[in-house]
Amino acid sequence: MNAYAGAQSAQGGEALSQHYFSVRARSMALCEPLSDEDCCAQSMADASPVKWHLAHTTWFFETFILERFERDFQPFNAQFRMLFNSYYNGVGARHPRPQRGLLTRPSLPEVLAYRRNVDARMLALLLAPDVAQDMLPLVELGLHHEQQHQELMLTDVKHLLAQNPLLPAYASQAAAEPGQTLPLDWLAYEAGIVEIGHVGSGFCFDNELPRHRQFVEPFQLASRLLSNGEYLAFVSAGGYANPALWLSEGWDWVQANRITQPLYWHAPGAAQGDWQEFTLHGLRPLELHAPVSHLSLFEADACARWAGARLPTEAEWEVAAGGRHAPTVETMHPQAAYQEGLAQMFGACWQWTSSSYAPYPGYAPAAGALGEYNGKFMLNQYVLRGSSCVTPGGHARATYRNFFPASARWQFSGIRLARS
């Protein structure tokens, strides 16, 4: 995900302390449906155990805030500095990412005790009468960092449960009732010089800066995301078997991994007539009107070609998003579009763009280890825009730049078509 803060905190210590405990409590609430065993398993190298997420987000506050601002600092456990470091080489040694699921020690109760200890110490700093003003932006960064990990917790848990032959549900509540597919309209935008990037005093990550000008040619953008039913037509037409539709690396990826459908789709068997999809609510009939999700860039690009369209650039997407605001409620599963006009820009699926993840003109990473958060990943990644059905409320915005390798598809990633 993204990286270091580019805007200063507008909150004082007392107000920020309330936000701190709200965010930290939500991480714990996400764990309530899980067993201890669920929290400790790792399904693949790209995913992490929930226990590790809980510890790493705590490590962030201890390493970058308590260690700097707490008088007579003493680590909760000196070994945690290495165990729960993600990719900050400037901090020191790291435990290998693919082996996080092997960390049976410390136990989950020990990690929870770590969280309680750090939370109490953070509260003391935030409520101190002489609270350090230069600490507050770092706290706000840590909270946005934890919100990123809350989304990862849900996508990682979904991937984990999908490996279980019982296909257990994370959440037992019923999914929303099936909707209807609104017509896909094409909205036209004129050519011109536009400004993109974060503006204002609110929080942003450094990769959203600086705001700058770009020229865009005239383009059209689809009014909604591509639906499961529309993607099923691509599958049924032999899209995964037609090399003419695929980027060379994508075709090699499809062939090497024998991929024939989206990640969580289950093809009809002899005893069943319809496609099914694994969701956080368990295995359910494929909702044809809902947006297709969990696609790689390769799949999104191939389907766009098949449809006689393309993926938008991130500048085109941001121009269209304009001043739209993201929803504040997560739905756990992408829902069908319910409004006419430009819909599903936020809250359904992250939307692949054709833009490589690169620095904006004039970008400079922050000094020190926190500068590793974003800048060093600006190679061999593509930008996704918007937000998903499991993005925490209040975390998304029109300038947010998510990024993943072209083969990644365990996130809620979908397709918005564009045309020149």
Q: Which two tokens stand for residue 21?
A: 């405990």
Please state whether the predicted TM-score (pTM) of the whole model is above 0.85. yes
Query: Is the Cβ–Cβ distance between 191 and 156 less than 8 Å?
Result: no
Q: Which two tokens stand for residue 156?
A: 């990682």
User: In sequence order, what are the residues at sequence separation of 6 or more whose Cβ sits closer than 8 angstroms to the Cβ of residue 350?
Assistant: 384, 385, 386, 387, 388, 402, 411, 412, 413, 414
Question: In this predicted structure, what is the pLDDT of residue 328?
Answer: 74
Residue found under tokens 């069908």: 336
Q: CA dist 315 to 60, 321, 336, Å?
A: 32, 10, 25
Tell me the residue type at 327: P
Q: Is the preceding omega at residue 359 within 30 degrees of 0, hence cis? A: no
Tell me the residue type at 167: L
Q: Which two tokens stand for residue 150?
A: 């809350």
Question: In this predicted structure, what is the pLDDT of residue 180?
Answer: 77
Question: In this predicted structure, what is the pLDDT of residue 106?
Answer: 98
Which of 374, 378, 356, 352 has the alpha carbon at shortest distance from 365?
374
Question: In this predicted structure, what is the pLDDT of residue 174?
Answer: 62
Per-residue pLDDT of the chain (420 residues; tens, 9 = 90+): 444 455 445 567 888 999 999 999 999 999 999 999 999 999 999 999 999 999 999 999 999 999 999 999 999 999 999 999 999 999 999 999 999 999 999 999 999 999 999 999 999 999 999 999 999 999 999 999 999 999 999 999 999 999 999 999 999 866 556 667 789 999 999 999 999 999 998 999 999 999 999 999 999 999 999 999 999 999 999 999 999 999 999 999 999 999 999 999 999 875 566 999 999 999 999 999 999 999 999 999 999 999 999 999 999 999 999 878 777 778 999 999 988 899 999 999 999 999 999 999 999 988 888 888 888 999 999 999 999 999 999 999 999 999 999 999 999 999 999 999
- Per domain, the residue ranges of the chain are 13-162, 186-419
Which of 212, 193, 194, 184 has the alpha carbon at shortest distance from 319?
194
Question: In this predicted structure, what is the pLDDT of residue 2?
Answer: 42
Q: Is the dihedral of CA 325, 331, 332, 333 positive or negative?
A: negative
Neighbour tally for 270: CB within 10 Å = 5
How many alpha carbons lie under 13 Å from residue 355 in its C-beta half-sphere?
A: 21
Based on DSSP, count helices (H) and strands (E) in the chain, helices before strands. 11, 12
Q: Which two tokens stand for residue 145?
A: 């960092």
Sheet containing 265-266: order of strands: 265-266, 276-279, 282-285
282: left (phi over 0), alpha (psi -120 to 50) or beta: left
Domain 186-419: homologous superfamily in CATH:
paralog of FGE (formylglycine-generating enzyme) (3.90.1580.10)
φ and ψ of 146, to 5 deg: -65, -35
